[in-house]
Amino acid sequence: MISRRSLLHCIPACTVAALGPAIPTTFAANKDLRSHALPDLPVVTHEGKRVRFYSDLIEGKIVLINFMYSTCKGICPGMTTNLKDVYRALGDRVGRDVFMYSITLQPEKDTAERLRSYVKARGIGDGWYFLTGEAFDLDQIRKRLGFYDPNPEVDEDRTQHTGMLRVGNDARQRWTMCPALAEPSAIVRSVSWM
Protein backbone atom coordinates (compact mmCIF):
# COMPACT_ATOMS: atom_id res chain seq x y z
CA MET A 1 0.00 0.00 0.00
CA ILE A 2 1.28 3.45 -0.83
CA SER A 3 1.83 5.49 2.25
CA ARG A 4 0.58 9.00 2.54
CA ARG A 5 4.19 10.01 2.93
CA SER A 6 5.13 8.73 -0.52
CA LEU A 7 2.07 10.44 -1.99
CA LEU A 8 3.28 13.72 -0.64
CA HIS A 9 6.66 13.07 -2.16
CA CYS A 10 5.25 13.14 -5.66
CA ILE A 11 3.89 16.62 -5.38
CA PRO A 12 6.90 18.82 -6.13
CA ALA A 13 7.43 16.83 -9.34
CA CYS A 14 3.94 17.72 -10.51
CA THR A 15 4.46 21.44 -10.73
CA VAL A 16 6.97 24.01 -11.73
CA ALA A 17 4.93 26.79 -10.24
CA ALA A 18 6.90 28.85 -7.81
CA LEU A 19 4.90 29.72 -4.73
CA GLY A 20 5.13 33.25 -3.51
CA PRO A 21 6.81 34.07 -0.22
CA ALA A 22 5.22 32.23 2.64
CA ILE A 23 3.38 34.62 4.91
CA PRO A 24 2.63 33.09 8.29
CA THR A 25 -1.01 33.25 9.17
CA THR A 26 -3.56 31.45 11.25
CA PHE A 27 -6.75 29.89 10.10
CA ALA A 28 -8.62 29.57 13.31
CA ALA A 29 -12.38 29.75 12.90
CA ASN A 30 -13.20 33.18 11.66
CA LYS A 31 -16.00 34.16 13.98
CA ASP A 32 -16.67 37.30 11.98
CA LEU A 33 -17.84 35.37 8.98
CA ARG A 34 -19.45 32.47 10.75
CA SER A 35 -22.48 31.51 8.70
CA HIS A 36 -21.69 34.58 6.69
CA ALA A 37 -23.26 36.94 9.12
CA LEU A 38 -26.86 35.92 9.24
CA PRO A 39 -28.88 38.78 10.71
CA ASP A 40 -29.27 38.59 14.47
CA LEU A 41 -32.66 40.27 14.37
CA PRO A 42 -35.45 39.74 16.88
CA VAL A 43 -38.14 37.22 15.97
CA VAL A 44 -41.06 35.78 17.92
CA THR A 45 -41.77 32.08 18.15
CA HIS A 46 -45.27 30.61 17.99
CA GLU A 47 -44.91 30.20 21.75
CA GLY A 48 -44.73 33.96 21.99
CA LYS A 49 -41.07 34.10 22.98
CA ARG A 50 -38.87 36.84 21.63
CA VAL A 51 -35.51 35.49 20.51
CA ARG A 52 -32.65 36.61 18.33
CA PHE A 53 -32.48 34.90 14.96
CA TYR A 54 -28.80 34.09 14.75
CA SER A 55 -27.58 33.77 18.29
CA ASP A 56 -30.62 31.94 19.67
CA LEU A 57 -31.82 29.92 16.70
CA ILE A 58 -28.88 29.27 14.39
CA GLU A 59 -25.59 29.45 16.25
CA GLY A 60 -24.06 26.01 16.73
CA LYS A 61 -27.11 24.17 15.42
CA ILE A 62 -28.17 22.10 12.44
CA VAL A 63 -31.24 23.80 11.06
CA LEU A 64 -33.94 23.43 8.43
CA ILE A 65 -35.56 26.71 7.42
CA ASN A 66 -38.51 27.36 5.15
CA PHE A 67 -40.93 30.21 4.51
CA MET A 68 -44.71 29.87 4.62
CA TYR A 69 -47.84 31.68 5.72
CA SER A 70 -50.84 30.19 7.37
CA THR A 71 -53.39 31.26 4.76
CA CYS A 72 -51.26 30.05 1.84
CA LYS A 73 -53.32 27.87 -0.45
CA GLY A 74 -50.54 26.99 -2.90
CA ILE A 75 -47.83 24.58 -1.98
CA CYS A 76 -47.66 25.54 1.71
CA PRO A 77 -50.08 22.92 3.08
CA GLY A 78 -48.31 20.13 1.17
CA MET A 79 -44.98 21.52 2.25
CA THR A 80 -45.92 21.52 5.93
CA THR A 81 -47.21 17.95 5.56
CA ASN A 82 -43.96 16.92 3.87
CA LEU A 83 -41.86 18.60 6.53
CA LYS A 84 -43.91 16.80 9.17
CA ASP A 85 -42.70 13.53 7.64
CA VAL A 86 -39.16 14.89 7.81
CA TYR A 87 -39.76 15.92 11.42
CA ARG A 88 -40.92 12.40 12.25
CA ALA A 89 -38.04 10.77 10.40
CA LEU A 90 -35.47 12.89 12.24
CA GLY A 91 -36.95 11.60 15.49
CA ASP A 92 -35.40 12.78 18.73
CA ARG A 93 -32.66 14.70 16.93
CA VAL A 94 -35.22 17.48 16.46
CA GLY A 95 -34.96 19.74 19.46
CA ARG A 96 -31.58 18.23 20.39
CA ASP A 97 -29.08 19.13 17.66
CA VAL A 98 -31.48 19.69 14.76
CA PHE A 99 -34.02 22.51 14.76
CA MET A 100 -36.73 23.32 12.26
CA TYR A 101 -37.92 26.84 11.56
CA SER A 102 -40.87 27.91 9.45
CA ILE A 103 -40.90 31.65 9.00
CA THR A 104 -44.06 33.49 8.02
CA LEU A 105 -44.14 35.64 4.92
CA GLN A 106 -47.21 37.42 6.27
CA PRO A 107 -46.33 38.62 9.77
CA GLU A 108 -49.14 41.16 9.83
CA LYS A 109 -51.66 38.30 9.84
CA ASP A 110 -49.57 35.50 11.28
CA THR A 111 -49.31 36.57 14.89
CA ALA A 112 -47.69 34.25 17.40
CA GLU A 113 -51.15 33.28 18.56
CA ARG A 114 -52.27 32.38 15.08
CA LEU A 115 -49.12 30.37 14.43
CA ARG A 116 -49.69 28.62 17.76
CA SER A 117 -53.09 27.41 16.62
CA TYR A 118 -51.56 26.42 13.25
CA VAL A 119 -49.00 24.30 15.11
CA LYS A 120 -51.61 22.85 17.44
CA ALA A 121 -53.98 21.95 14.61
CA ARG A 122 -51.19 20.01 12.92
CA GLY A 123 -49.93 18.25 15.99
CA ILE A 124 -46.43 19.63 15.65
CA GLY A 125 -44.24 19.08 18.70
CA ASP A 126 -40.98 20.35 20.19
CA GLY A 127 -38.02 21.52 18.18
CA TRP A 128 -39.98 22.94 15.24
CA TYR A 129 -40.64 26.62 15.66
CA PHE A 130 -42.90 28.83 13.59
CA LEU A 131 -41.57 32.35 13.56
CA THR A 132 -43.07 35.80 13.16
CA GLY A 133 -41.85 39.29 13.92
CA GLU A 134 -41.52 42.72 12.38
CA ALA A 135 -42.08 42.59 8.61
CA PHE A 136 -38.88 44.54 7.95
CA ASP A 137 -36.77 42.19 10.07
CA LEU A 138 -38.25 39.06 8.56
CA ASP A 139 -37.61 40.47 5.10
CA GLN A 140 -33.94 41.00 5.95
CA ILE A 141 -33.68 37.43 7.20
CA ARG A 142 -35.45 36.06 4.14
CA LYS A 143 -33.25 37.86 1.68
CA ARG A 144 -30.05 37.01 3.49
CA LEU A 145 -30.97 33.33 3.44
CA GLY A 146 -31.31 33.50 -0.34
CA PHE A 147 -35.10 33.45 -0.57
CA TYR A 148 -35.46 36.43 -2.87
CA ASP A 149 -35.93 37.48 -6.43
CA PRO A 150 -33.78 40.29 -7.83
CA ASN A 151 -36.83 41.62 -9.66
CA PRO A 152 -38.64 43.74 -7.01
CA GLU A 153 -42.08 43.02 -8.50
CA VAL A 154 -41.53 39.29 -8.36
CA ASP A 155 -39.98 39.61 -4.91
CA GLU A 156 -43.22 41.24 -3.69
CA ASP A 157 -45.09 38.04 -4.58
CA ARG A 158 -44.77 35.98 -1.43
CA THR A 159 -45.70 32.73 -3.19
CA GLN A 160 -42.30 32.96 -4.88
CA HIS A 161 -40.52 32.20 -1.63
CA THR A 162 -42.30 29.06 -0.56
CA GLY A 163 -40.69 26.27 -2.54
CA MET A 164 -37.27 25.74 -1.04
CA LEU A 165 -35.80 24.57 2.23
CA ARG A 166 -32.48 25.78 3.63
CA VAL A 167 -30.50 23.12 5.42
CA GLY A 168 -27.41 24.13 7.30
CA ASN A 169 -24.95 23.46 10.07
CA ASP A 170 -23.69 26.71 11.52
CA ALA A 171 -20.83 25.05 13.40
CA ARG A 172 -19.45 23.69 10.14
CA GLN A 173 -20.51 26.69 8.05
CA ARG A 174 -22.09 24.17 5.71
CA TRP A 175 -25.28 25.15 3.96
CA THR A 176 -27.39 23.76 1.18
CA MET A 177 -30.90 24.14 -0.17
CA CYS A 178 -33.33 21.50 -1.29
CA PRO A 179 -36.88 21.48 -2.60
CA ALA A 180 -39.28 21.64 0.34
CA LEU A 181 -41.39 19.03 -1.46
CA ALA A 182 -38.47 16.63 -2.00
CA GLU A 183 -38.89 13.07 -0.73
CA PRO A 184 -38.59 13.23 3.08
CA SER A 185 -35.81 10.64 2.87
CA ALA A 186 -33.86 12.95 0.53
CA ILE A 187 -34.22 15.83 2.98
CA VAL A 188 -33.12 13.61 5.85
CA ARG A 189 -30.10 12.61 3.75
CA SER A 190 -29.25 16.29 3.24
CA VAL A 191 -29.40 16.72 7.02
CA SER A 192 -27.03 13.76 7.40
CA TRP A 193 -24.48 15.54 5.22
CA MET A 194 -24.45 18.46 7.60
Partner 1 sequence: MEPLKENCPEQAPIANKSLRISRREMLKTAAVGASIAAIGTLPVRSASARTFVSPPTRPFVEPLPVYAPKAPVALSSLVPAPAKLPVAGECSRTAHQAWDTCAPVKFYELDVRENQHSFHRDLPTSRIWGYDGIYPGPTFHARYGESVCVRVRNNLPKNHVGPGIPQISLHLHNLHTPSESDGNPLDFFDSGTFRDLHYPNEYAGLNVAPGGDPREALGTLWYHDHRFDFTAANVYHGLAGFYLLYDTLDSGSETDPTPGALRLPSGRYDVPLLFQDKSFQNTGALYYDLFNTDGFLGDKHVVNGKIQPYFQVARRKYRFRMLNGGPARFYQFALSSGFPMTVVGVDGNLLPAPVEVKDVMIVPAERMDVIIDFSRYKIGQSVFLNNILEQTDGRGPKGILKKPQNIMRFDVVSDAADPSVVPKALRPLPPINLNEVVKNRTFDLGRSNGSWVINGELYEPNVFAAEIKANTAEIWTLRNSSGGWHHPMHIHFEEGRILSRNGAAPRPLEVGRKDVYNIGPNEEVKVFLRFRDFVGRYVMHCHNLSHEDHAMMINWRINP
Which residues in the 111-140 window bind partner 1 by CB under 8 A? 127, 136-137, 139-140
77: contact with partner 1 by CB under 8 A: no
Q: Which is nearer to partner 1, 40 or 84 (CB)?
A: 40
72 is a site residue for partner 1 (CB under 8 A):
no
Q: Which residues pair with 132 in a beta bridge?
A: 44
* Number of Cβ atoms within 10 Å of the Cβ of 129: 22
Considering the rule CB under 8 A, would residue 21 count as an interface residue with partner 1?
A: yes
d(CA 5, CA 176): 34
One residue of 37, 77, 78, 109 binding partner 1 per CB under 8 A: 37
> Residue 142 in contact with residue 161, Cβ under 8 Å?
yes
Amino acid identity at 52: R
* Contacting residue, 80, 104, 132, 190, with partner 1 by CB under 8 A: 190
Residue 103, number of CB atoms within 10 A of its CB: 25
Determine if 85 is a binding residue for partner 1 (CB under 8 A): no
Q: Which of residues 41-70 bind partner 1 (CB under 8 A)?
A: 41-42, 45, 49-52, 54-57, 60-62
Which DSSP category does 58 fall into?
I
Does position 16 interact with partner 1 (CB under 8 A)? The reply is yes
Separation between Cα atoms, residue 167 and residue 194, nearest integer Å: 8
